[in-house]
Amino acid sequence: MSDEEYNKLLNRAFEKAPDRAAEVSDFKIPKIDMIQQGNKSIIRNLSVIADRARRNPGDIARYVSKELAVPVNIEEQRLIISGKFRDDDLNKRIEKYFEVYVICRECHKPDSHLDVAGRGMFNFVCEACGARYGIKSY
């Protein structure tokens, strides 16, 4: 094999290196595990969602409460939501949480944390690529 052929092969290999989308696809936004009890909607896997997001369960609870404009409670690691909500609705809220507050808009990785910036803002800090940007707090 000549050097030229070798370089061509090498270039082709680089072109086939996994791109951003492929890396992101490893990360799955968790689906909620919900039951209805009377007038309450109960997310039973709050701790799984919080672990995946690397956020405190209380942070997720606060976000859900704000999104739905209803009171919520955490009991025995479950999120108790006042009111009847459909699970596809709640899944969409959780997806939005991950998209806005967990997954970096620059590198699309979920390794991040939020600093409180005041005046209704968070500083989103990506630990993977170092991006920092302001987002509306909840």
Residues 89-108 that bind Zn ion (CB under 5 A): 104, 106-107
Give the dihedral of Cα atoms 102, 119, 82, 49; nearest 10 deg: 10
Our separate counts of H helices and E strands in the chain read 5, 7
Among 129, 132, 133, 134, binds Zn ion (CB under 5 A): 129
- Considering the rule CB under 5 A, would residue 48 count as an interface residue with Zn ion? no
Look up residue 65 and give its two tokens.
């409460």
- Considering the rule CB under 5 A, would residue 127 count as an interface residue with Zn ion? no
Part in contact with Zn ion (CB under 5 A); list of ranges 7-15, 21-29, 55-63, 127-135: 127-135
CA gap 78, 26 in Å, rounded: 26
Least distance in Å: CB of 115 to Zn ion?
15
Least distance in Å: CB of 132 to Zn ion?
9
**Number of Cβ atoms within 10 Å of the Cβ of 122:** 19
Using the minimum distance from each CB to Zn ion, give the nearer residue, 68 or 128: 128
CA-based nearest residue to 54, from 100, 94, 102 = 102
Using the minimum distance from each CB to Zn ion, give the nearer residue, 74 or 128: 128
